[in-house]
Amino acid sequence: MDKVEDTFVLYRIIGNDLYPRHRKGQTRENLKFVLENEPKLEDCEKRWVVNRIIDREEEEAIIKLLQEHNQKYIHLPFYEGEYQRIGWDTNCFKKPGFLATKEFENLNAEQKNNAIAAAYRLKNNYVMNVNGARNIALRDGKMRAKWVLPWDGNCFITSSAWDEIRKDIGKSPYLKYFAVPMARVLDNSQLVSENFTPTPVEEPQLIFRRDSKEEFNERFPYGRRDKVELIWRLGIPGKWDKWKDEPWDQVRSSKSAEEGQFGFAGWVARMFSGKKVLEKDTKQSFKQRGLARTEAIINTIRAIDREKIAKRKSGRELLFYQMDILEEEKSMFLDGAEMPLITRLLDDAEEALTREPYSVTDKKSLPPSGIINDYWHPAPYWWPNKKKNDGLPYVRRDGRRVPGTKLYEPESDKYDRTRLQRVFDDSITLALAWFFTGKKKYAEHGSRILYRFFVNPATKMNPHLKYAQVRKGRNNNQGTSKGIIEMKDIYFYLDAVRLFCKANTIPEEHLVLFKGWLSSYLDWLINSPQGKGERLSDNNHGTYYDLQVAAISDFLEDYPVLFEAIVRAQSRIETQFAPDGAQPKELVRTQPAHYCCFNLQGWIYMTEIAERYGTDLWAYQSRKGSNLIKAVQWLLSHAGKKWPDKLIDEFDEERYLPIWFYAPQESRLKLKKPFFHRSKYSVKTRFFPHDGVRPYWNIGKAEVKRNYKFVNKHPSFVFGIPLRAKTVSKDWKKVCENLETTLYSLSRQKNKNFVIYLAAHEYPPVNYFGLDVRVLLAPFPVPKNIKEIGRDKGRKKQMIGTALRQSGYESLYYMHLDADDILDPSLVETVLKDDNKRGYLITKGYMYDVRNKLIARCNSFWRKSGSCAIMYFKKDEFPLHYKDRNNYFSKFVRHKNFKTVAEEYGRKLEPLTGRMAVYMVNHGENTRKYRGKGNRQQAYVKKNQIKNRRRIQKIRKRFPELF
């Protein structure tokens, strides 16, 4: 290989601007500077990789810029559907529940940020895709040149730098790798100056010889040794040899078999990032770059989850009660439907109206602080010590409550616990009563409760729980961290506040003051000794702590705190649940049935918040196999059975029902118990507050159906649609209408385990009907005339094949689908159910004349339409790039030969039963029409048209897109 003439291909990876590491728009500015100022490099082809740009407008601008300069590029789009399947990597921490441990709390701010970033690793790897893009460039480049340069997008090569690189490589042609040190610049204009003198001391870019074996390690995320990991393996010396790993970092691979086969070649400039303070060649600047990079990664991922994945756009939207379901139920109620739940709700609301607004100043005893506005409640299970004359310090008697600490009992008015619960329960009752009746008296009374308890300076509760669950004689008579759980139901109370806002009964100034109260309480919850202690709890207290923090931060739109709570909650799953679903921490209590239900109920509410922000906690499984699905199954398996430990209090078995109805369907066991009702509306709607079931839990909530985009790691079926370019379309609007019809057809598929790859020159303005559509923008010019339309279509099919290879699917079924054909709703289901691992052929279908609204049977469908075959491919059977024709996928060119090609490869296509597709003709945009051959299609339909009205009605029912 060292005697082969030197040729080079340079790829630069264009990624996202990450604030605060980069200035917005800096990537595009640097690209423009390179295109306008970088000299031609001898024996070197320049190419680009447009890598997962999140901002659609920015991506289009970058691609337009490349096309204007006739640059060749690989396009790796950002797909929300793919990203949405990716969760948090809390398994990277060696200690279970690490984010809720003293070890994490004791880290400094920088280390905590690094640990959080480590939990974001999987999302980082998709969004930044730094090593994935480098490897794609490396593999593509090895087919084009002897030397491949898969470099960062901010690299600039001057003529002198290139001469040095070529010269150094020429001196040692027997080496397989070269390291090219980087020199940072603070002003890009320096690079066009003849007097520029570089100081190349930064982490190098790498050059690979075609026969080199190593690639970049895709486990390592951007910002955490992504390139250095390979530098370590190759043994390239530098300051990185002294860098230390954190406990949560990815484990380094062993040394390469090609270790030492490297040299150094020339230098390369690293263009300006837009932040001068981060580009200096100092230790302080190096550290600041690292901090800014970590912060940028976390901010970017949180922004994607909030802006692109989250199902809620404002803290004023209902969080736990679903507005669309409430509207349906309200309509049923107003139409006269018999709804005992609503009747009970309105009776409760009338009773709530009889109670005056509450305040902590109403209690009949003072807290240890002596301040009446402080919340006050003794620990319920702590009693005077009989062995001491003064009874101090108090001692614990688990399961035995102190008089006055049980809700609603006569002596409870000495303390604030009952009063606080009334605030929560009466408020949600009044809010829902207003919603179902429209009567302002309910919302107005609820708003008065908020004002007196949280807003009025004279009567409001101070925003802390310092004197909740006080154990006298201990901790200076302050409460314990366990007392924080008494505020647990604030999560559903905030939905009541949202409804009062909707009723316009809370003045804006009161809402501002209430938010101020919440902000102060949240700060105390996070930073006080009691809050920190509760955060470390490894049982139900930890669960309800996270629920409070998440619900309040959602209301305040404090997204950093919210996302940290969600990730921390996921990390708790391994500490709270055994691999079989049991809850060891709750089983040791004297009331295990109560605490297991109580804890899991809190987890269900936590999954609801997480799901609203794109995190599926149901899908997570710890290293030991713990997950919430098993937890539900384990708990429900005890329904109707005696628990292993003695129960001090009687257990209400109906408490299984909210869990039964709210957990995902696949977690339900086939239990034939009389109380597992078919309808949630036939079950009681109020439980005792200690049970942890929110009031009216079966109102305003749809049955949980899993979003299978989370469940399936890869799709089993892919549709590939090449779309005609706008400039060569006679009627672009019609092209888009036809595509929308095809997409609507796919939206009706019974089995949704598929994705759609759409190859186009521009994003079509169409409705995607919620489908996972991945648009690939063509890197080649649009067709110049009608004659090139066929070639353009073939190239776009190759683009799709290339994307499938790069996506890493092990195997799948694939169907070429024209953007004007429609399919039977059972097609995907039929194929995946039979799963013959060869493929299928649509032998019979219909042809439909759009303009004349005529339909005909077509008994040789595969001869008439290219949308006729479903092929089975393995990952190495797709093209490496769109010009690569030496693969199984690329053999399927002419649809009349599909059968023969498959048989030659030993995969005989099996005919599908029934008429599974419709070929639409005579709509003005058929390719055959462009070629002047459309009259044959029209004549065929007219000659063989179906005239029987009943049969036409059946076809119309099956294919509603027609007629």
Three-class SS string for 364-401? Answer: CCCCCCCCCCCCCEECCCEECCCCCCCCCCCEECCCCC
Q: Confidence band (pLDDT; 50, 70, 90) for 931?
A: low
| pLDDT at residue number 308 | 85
* Residue located via tokens 């909030």: 306
Going by C-alpha positions, the residue among 319, 324, 552, 351 that lies closest to residue 435 is 324
Helix-then-strand count for the chain, H and E: 32, 24
On whether the CB atoms of residues 787 and 689 are closer than 8 A, the answer is no
Dump pLDDT digits (tens) for 854-891. Answer: 999 999 999 999 999 999 999 889 998 878 889 999 99
Across 670-686, b (16+ Cβ under 10 Å) vs e yields: eeeeeebeeebbebebb
Helix (H, G, I), strand (E, B) or coil at 550: helix
Amino acid at 14: I
| pLDDT at residue number 367 | 95
* Phi, psi dihedrals of residue 874, rounded to the nearest 5°: -100, 165
Going by C-alpha positions, the residue among 164, 148, 159, 256 that lies closest to residue 210 is 148
* Span of 21-25, 259-263, 573-577 with lowest mean pLDDT: 21-25
* Span of 95-109, 638-652, 653-667 with lowest mean pLDDT: 638-652
Dump pLDDT digits (tens) for 601-649. Answer: 999 999 999 999 989 999 898 888 899 999 998 999 888 788 766 555 6
Does 478 score more than 50 pLDDT?
A: yes
Does 317 score more than 70 pLDDT?
A: yes
Dump pLDDT digits (tens) for 390-414. Answer: 889 999 887 788 899 989 998 999 9
| pLDDT at residue number 286 | 62
Count of CB atoms situated within 10 Å of the CB of 253: 14
| pLDDT at residue number 678 | 67
Q: Looking at residues 661-677, what average pLDDT do you find? A: 65
| pLDDT at residue number 653 | 87
Q: How far apart are CA 504 and CA 498, in angstroms?
A: 10
Count of CB atoms situated within 10 Å of the CB of 158: 23
Dump pLDDT digits (tens) for 506-543. Answer: 999 999 999 999 999 999 999 999 999 999 999 999 99
Q: Confidence band (pLDDT; 50, 70, 90) for 784?
A: confident
% the chain with pLDDT above 70: 93
**What six digits make up the tokens of 318?**
């209902």
Name 168's Cβ contacts closer than 8 Å, sequence gap at least 6. 178, 263, 264, 265, 266
| pLDDT at residue number 929 | 52
Does 362 score more than 60 pLDDT?
A: yes
| pLDDT at residue number 708 | 35
Give the Cα-Cα-Cα angle 345, 699, 662 (nearest 5 degrees): 140
| pLDDT at residue number 765 | 83
**What six digits make up the tokens of 688?**
């005792």
| pLDDT at residue number 470 | 94
Helix (H, G, I), strand (E, B) or coil at 847: strand
On whether the CB atoms of residues 267 and 200 are closer than 8 A, the answer is yes
Helix or strand run (H / E) with residue 510? helix 508-527
* Residue located via tokens 């649009």: 782
Q: How far apart are CA 191 and CA 285, in angstroms?
A: 22
Amino acid at 2: D
* Span of 65-69, 363-367, 647-651, 844-848 with lowest mean pLDDT: 647-651
Q: Rounded to the nearest 10 degrees, how much is the dihedral formed by the CA atoms of 434, 439, 441, 446?
A: 10
| pLDDT at residue number 707 | 40
Q: DSSP string of 294-345?
A: HHHHHHHHHHHIIIII-S---TTS-SSS-HHHHHHHHHHHHTT---HHHHHH
Dump pLDDT digits (tens) for 898-930. Answer: 999 999 999 999 999 999 999 999 887 765 555
| pLDDT at residue number 381 | 86
| pLDDT at residue number 709 | 35
| pLDDT at residue number 713 | 39
Helix axes 508-527, 440-450, angle to 10 degrees: 50
